[in-house]
Structure 1
Amino acid sequence: MASLDDKLDAAEEAMVAEAERRPISTILLIVAMQTEALPLVNKFQLSEDLDSVFPSGVPWVRYHGMYKDLQINLIWPGKDSALGVDNVGTISLSLLTYASIQALQPGLIINAGTAGGFKAKGACIGDVFLASDVAFHDRRIPIPVFDLYGVGLRQSYPTPNLLKELNLKTGKLSTGDSLDMSPHDEASITANDATVKDMEGAAVAYVAELLKVPTIFIKAVTDIVDGEKPTAEEFLQNLAAVTASLGQAVTQVIDFINGKCLTEL
């Protein structure tokens, strides 16, 4: 006789399978920076939510609206109250992702943003990648099993038809809380076999896996980490132009998703 746990697991699997066969209706776009967010807000004609679904006092900003058959919620973490800069990084984005899933119950998460790329892995300025895997490179815990926990390797939701139709590049994404790259980080990024690096993807993936929400990662390259120019200088120089490439790619992805179920991606 099946145990209660077995029955519950079977019921949960059946619910997941059923959800994957229904057309996607709600997309949660998680974007770390205002510069990355606003072109998408304009493209999808989203309106700012003045009656926030989030707890009082948090700076997070929600834009929402219908685009074709999709309800789109775009969330960015707002500005630091003291310094006025974007609330980037894994702590801010993990909190934001958790609260957004709880409040909005999305069918699919898209974490869209800019990233550093590695020319040794074939990345060029303006390239847009659909990440296949995500992992951390700055959580080094040199104890058996804890080391794997620190890396936190997770796969993005598989989208073979999307990749084929849009001819997007794919590669592994590595996440850390620093824009620059220390020798320790470099060794970990190499171990992660990463093509691109960012400051939020693996944190979003962690929360999405906990709450069982399928997630994909779209990253546009602003700077070549193993290139000749200083990372910060190259990032700022290319940010505006690359966000345009990012916006175009996200639009193509959402147009492809419209009317489809998860299993068709």
Structure 2
Amino acid sequence: MAPHGDGSNAAEEAIAAQLEKRPISTVVIIIAMQTEALPLVDTFQLVEDRDSVFPKDAPWLWYHGIYRDLNINLIWPGKDPTLGIDSVGTISASLVTYASICALQPDLIINAGTSGGFKAKGASIGDVFLASEVAFHDRRIPIPVFDLYGVGLRQAFPTPNLLKELNLKAGKLSTGDSLEMSSQDEATIFANDATVKDMEGAAVAYVADMLKVPTIFIKAVTDIVDGGKPTAEEFLQNLATVTAALGQSITQVIDFINGKSLSEL
């Protein structure tokens, strides 16, 4: 860290302001499941790069291409090498976020995916939310200051024009590594004032904040957490339909971003 009073902070802020006025060029979309990823690969006509920028033994997949004036990169963590299922959760999300930023130097990250929603906060199946802030709900460290670190509250990059233009719903996102919700998770989610919950968002936010990359979070509701139906059953029942709604929203977001600077979002 630079010492106080040497002008470094002012210089960094000036550089950041200049970057926010530059047209967005490179976008990274981080998405956890193959079912969510492949429709976007088709929509944007992305190509899987076999000569990946990632370590050769990592299962992460990189799809990229040019869509309008944007360099689009879609990163999917791939299949678990042992079990053959989607590599969901915070560990995979944080790893691919870090690797993607280092390799691709994006102007903007979009963390897209499905989520649970709370009807008490106005969520319905198929709703698409643009998260205003993200936090964890399963990192319980009951020691002063460490408790705040565990929650890890971070703001999403503000996009008031995008929110208004596309008529997306706004809400707070809470992240944990379990699909089901324990009573302790529920209490923290309530404290986080969350409308939707997922298994990746806050991990992406942690890395993106560390490396100073603007990030937005777009989540489509597959299941109503406080609706009385078994979460896994409702999630699988609605996954295909909600994934289509998510893909449509992501396409609209990309179309809106095209030709704009960060400050215009």
Q: TM-score, normalised by structure 2?
A: 0.98
Is 1:87–2:112 an aligned residue pair? no
Alignment match, 1:216: 216
Aligned Cα root-mean-square deviation (Å): 1.1
1:199-243 Cα distance to aligned partner (Å, 9 max, x none): 000000000000000000000000000012100000000001000
What TM-score, normalized to structure 1? 0.98
What pairs with 1:43-54 in structure 2 (closer than 5 Å)?
43-54=43-54
Aligned residue for 2:241? 241
In structure 2, what residue type is equivalent to 1:115?
S
Report the 3-state secondary structure (helix = DSSP H, G, I; strand = E; otherwise coil) of the residue aligned with 1:50: coil
CA distance in 2, matches of 1:208, 1:236: 30
- The 1:244–1:14 alpha-carbon spacing in structure 2 relative to 1, beyond 3 Å, is same
2:131 counterpart of 1:131: yes
- Stretches of structure 2 lacking an aligned partner (at least 5 in a row): none
Q: Distance in 2 between matches of 1:81 and 1:181?
A: 27
The 3 A distance-change label for structure 1 pair 187 and 66 is same
Equivalent AA in structure 1 for residue 184 of structure 2 = H
- Identical-residue share of aligned pairs (%): 79
Residues in 2 aligned to 1:65 and 1:186: alpha-carbon distance in whole angstroms: 40
Give the whole-Å Cα distance in 2 for the aligned partners of 1:172 and 1:129.
Answer: 9
In structure 2, distance between residues paired with 1:118 and 1:6? 48
Q: C-alpha separation between the residues in 2 aligned to 1:135 and 1:206?
A: 9
Q: CA offsets, 1:120-174, max 9 Å, x none?
A: 0000000000000100000011111111110000010000001111111000000
Matches within 5 A, 1:102-251: 102-251=102-251
Code of the aligned partner of 1:54: F
Unaligned runs of 5+ in 1: none
CA distance in structure 2 between the partners assigned to 1:230 and 1:147 by the alignment: 30
Distance 1:250 1:190 in 2: 28
Matched pairs, number: 264
After TM superposition, give the deviation of residue 3 of structure 1 in Å: 6.3
